[in-house]
Chain A
Amino acid sequence: MNSTPNGGAAPPYQNGPVGQTYPSTYPPGYYGAGPQQQGYPTISGHCAPALNKSPITNNDHSAYYHHNSHQQPIAAPTVAPSAYRVTQGSHPPSQPYGTLPTSVAPPNPQQAPPFQQPSPYALHGAYHGQQQYLPSQALIYPQQLNLVSATPSSQGTPMYPIVSYPSAPGSSQYGTLRSSQAPTGPGAISNLIGAPLHQYPPGNGTSHPASTAAVPSGHSMAPPGQPATVNGQGNAVQAPVLQHYDQSHQAAMAHDHYGVTHNTGGADDDRPPSGTPFTSSPGHQQGGDSSSTTTGSASPVPNSYDSLEGGSYPESSIPPSADMTKQAPPFGYGYPSMQPAYQQRPSPRTDSSPSHGRYNQTGYQHLSQPFPNMSQLSAALGGLSGVPELEVEALRPVNLLQERNLLPHRPLDAPEPNLNADLKKANCSPDTFRCTLTNIPQTQALLNKARLPLGLLLHPFRDLAQLPVITSSTIVRCRSCRTYINPFVSFLDQRRWKCSLCYRVNDVPDEFMYNPVTRSYGEPHKRPEVQNSTVEFIASSDYMLRPPQPAVYLFVLDVSHNAVDAGYLDVFCQTLLENLDKMPGDTRTRVGFITFNSTIHFYNLHESLSQPQMLVVSDIDDIFIPTHDSLLVNLKESRALVRVLLTSLPGMFSQTRETHSALGPALQAAYKLMSSTGGRVSVFQTQLPTLGAGLLQSREDPNQRSSTKGVQHLGPATDFYKKLALDCSGQQIGVDLFLLSSQYSDLASLACVSKYSAGSIFYYPSLHHVHNPAQLDKFQKDLERYLTRKIGFEAVMRIRCTKGLSIHTFHGNFFVRSTDLLSLANVNPDSGFAVQMSIEESMADTSLACFQAALLYTSSKGKRRIRVHTLCLPVVSQLSDVYAGADVQAITCLLANMAIDRSISSSLSDARDALVNAVVDSLSAYKNTVSNLQQSGLIAPAALCLFPLYVLALLKQKALRTGTSTKLDERVFAMCEFKSQPLQQIMRTVHPDLYRLDTISDEGALHLNDCIVPQPHLLHLTAEKLTREGAFLMDCGSVFYLWIGKCCNDMFIRDVLGCPNHASIPPNMTQIPELETPLSERLRALLAWLQDSRTFSSTLHVLKDDASAKTSFFQHLVEDRSESAFSYYEFLLHIQQQMTK
Chain B
Amino acid sequence: MAFTFAAFCYMLALLLTAALIFFAIWHIIAFDELKTDYKNPIDQCNTLNPTVEKLVLPEYLIHVFFCVMFLCAAEWLTLGLNMPLLAYHVWRYTSRPVMSGPGLYDPTTIMNADVLAYCQKEGWCKLAFYLLSFFYYLYGYVISTISTGMLSLPPLLLPSIRVCYLYLLSFCLYGYESNN
Contacts and interface: CB of A to CB of B under 8 A. Distances in A.
A719 interface: yes
Contacts of B116: 819
B34 to A, nearest CB: 7
17 contacts: A545-B42, A719-B100, A723-B100, A726-B108, A730-B46, A807-B113, A808-B113, A808-B114, A809-B112, A809-B113, A809-B114, A817-B41, A817-B42, A817-B111, A818-B37, A819-B116, A820-B37
Nearest to B110: A816
Contacts of B97: 719
Contact of A756 (B43, B44, B108): B108
Interface string A707-719: 0000000011111
A817 B100 contact: no
A545 B35 CA distance: 23
Contact of A726 (B107, B111, B114): B107
B99 interface: yes
Interface string A699-742: 00000000000000001111110110010001000000000000
Contacts of A817: 41-45, 111
B111 A819 contact: yes
B76 to A, nearest CB: 37
Nearest to A807: B113
A816 B42 CA distance: 10
B34 A818 contact: yes
A719 B111 contact: no
A717 B108 CA distance: 16
B113 A818 contact: no
Nearest to B36: A819
B156 interface: no
Contacts of A820: 37
Contact of A719 (B37, B98, B114): B98
A818 B100 contact: no
Contacts of B107: 726, 815
Given A730-B46, A815-B108, A821 B98 contact: no
A1002 B110 CA distance: 55
B106 to A, nearest CB: 8
A819 B98 contact: no
A506 interface: no
Interface in B39-96: 41-46
A818 B45 contact: yes
A964 B104 CA distance: 36
A818 B108 contact: no
Contacts of A545: 42
Interface of A: 545, 715-720, 722-723, 726, 730, 755-756, 806-810, 815-821, 836, 838
B172 to A, nearest CB: 26
A545 B40 CA distance: 13
Nearest to A817: B45
Nearest to B117: A808
Interface string B123-164: 000000000000000000000000000000000000000000
Given A816-B108, A817-B41, A715 B98 contact: yes
Tell me the interface secondary structure of chain A in the complex. mixed
A821 B41 contact: yes
A755 B106 CA distance: 14
Contact of B35 (A716, A717, A720, A819): A819
Nearest to A727: B46
Contacts of A718: 98, 100
Given A808-B113, A808-B114, A821 B37 contact: yes
Nearest to B34: A818
Contacts of B45: 815-818
Interface residues of B, number: 21
Contacts of A720: 100
Contacts of B98: 715-719
A221 B2 CA distance: 92
A774 to B, nearest CB: 36
Given A818-B44, A819-B111, A819-B113, 12 more contacts: A719-B98, A719-B100, A720-B100, A808-B112, A809-B112, A815-B45, A816-B45, A817-B45, A818-B41, A819-B34, A821-B41, A838-B113
B53 to A, nearest CB: 13
A500 B113 CA distance: 24
A455 to B, nearest CB: 12
B127 to A, nearest CB: 22
Nearest to B107: A726
A1042 to B, nearest CB: 42
A820 B38 CA distance: 12
Most buried by A among B46, B99, B111: B111
Nearest to A819: B37
B154 to A, nearest CB: 48
Contacts of B41: 817-818, 821
A1093 B43 CA distance: 38
Nearest to A806: B113
Nearest to B112: A809
Contacts of B100: 718-720, 723
A701 to B, nearest CB: 19
Nearest to A545: B42
A115 B41 CA distance: 50
Given A715-B98, A718-B98, A720-B100, A818 B46 contact: no
Contacts of B34: 818-819
B52 to A, nearest CB: 15
A1076 to B, nearest CB: 56
Contacts of A756: 108
Nearest to A726: B107
Contacts of A816: 45, 108, 111-112
B3 to A, nearest CB: 48
A722 B111 CA distance: 16
Most buried by A among B34, B35, B98: B98
B110 to A, nearest CB: 8
Nearest to B40: A818
Given A816-B108, A818-B34, A821-B37, A730 B113 contact: no
A726 B37 CA distance: 19
A856 to B, nearest CB: 12
A815 B107 CA distance: 9
Contacts of A730: 43, 46
B119 to A, nearest CB: 13
Given A718-B98, A730-B46, A818 B114 contact: no
Interface string B6-20: 000000000000000
A715 B96 CA distance: 13
A809 B115 CA distance: 10
A820 B114 CA distance: 14
Contacts of B113: 806-809, 819, 836, 838
A726 B44 contact: no
A808 B117 CA distance: 10
B70 to A, nearest CB: 35
A809 B46 CA distance: 18
Contacts of A806: 113
A690 B134 CA distance: 52
Contacts of A808: 112-114
A722 B41 CA distance: 21
Contacts of A810: 111
Contacts of B37: 818-821
B90 to A, nearest CB: 20
A756 B108 CA distance: 7
A807 B34 CA distance: 14
A979 B99 CA distance: 23
Contacts of A836: 113
Contacts of A807: 113
Contacts of B42: 545, 817
B117 to A, nearest CB: 10
Most buried by B among A717, A718, A722, A807: A722
Nearest to B101: A719
A820 B112 CA distance: 10
Given A819-B35, A821-B41, A726 B99 contact: no
A715 B46 CA distance: 22
